[in-house]
Amino acid sequence: MSENAYDGKIVAQNRKARHEYFIEETYECGIELFGTEVKSIRLGKVSLTESYATIRNGEVYLCNMHISPYEEGNIFNRDPLRDRKLLLHKREIMRLLGYIQQKGLTLIPLKIYFKRNRLKAELAVAKGKKLYDKREAKKESDVKREIEKRLKTH
């Protein structure tokens, strides 16, 4: 396997996020992980469902991201649901803090991927959708799909 075999590979995606939230802005950030966690992620044993990010003491943490324990890891394995620190610049953290406190927005991870052999997370500033927003979005996608289907047949 070459040195950059994982480059650009999306390891995990939060598919429900775009359905549940309006995405305002996205940030790319690093994740502080331990060796066995990285090995487990390389095997694709990670889940972003129900995960979110919080800001504590001027640092951003990713909560509820499940990384299955690495089978060969024995004593070095960590808690699968522990909070993991996200690596961002101070000015980005302050900006995110402003979004959360003033506008009442949420921080959610959209995907986890490799970039130049480093694991990155795409963090989104999002606003929750109401039920009628979800219905409207579904109706629009159904109409768009129907139009494309009719254009193909003619």
User: Is the CA virtual torsion 9, 12, 15, 17 positive or negative?
Assistant: negative
pLDDT 10s digits, 46-90: 888 888 999 999 899 989 888 888 777 566 666 677 888 899 999
Model confidence pTM above 0.85: no
Domains of the chain: 10-153 (2.40.280.10)
First to last CA, the chain: 47
Residue 119 CB partners (closer than 8 Å, separation 6+): 11, 30, 31, 33, 38, 41, 112, 113
Q: What's the pLDDT score for residue 108?
A: 92
**pLDDT value of position 70:** 76
Greater model confidence, 50 or 131: 50
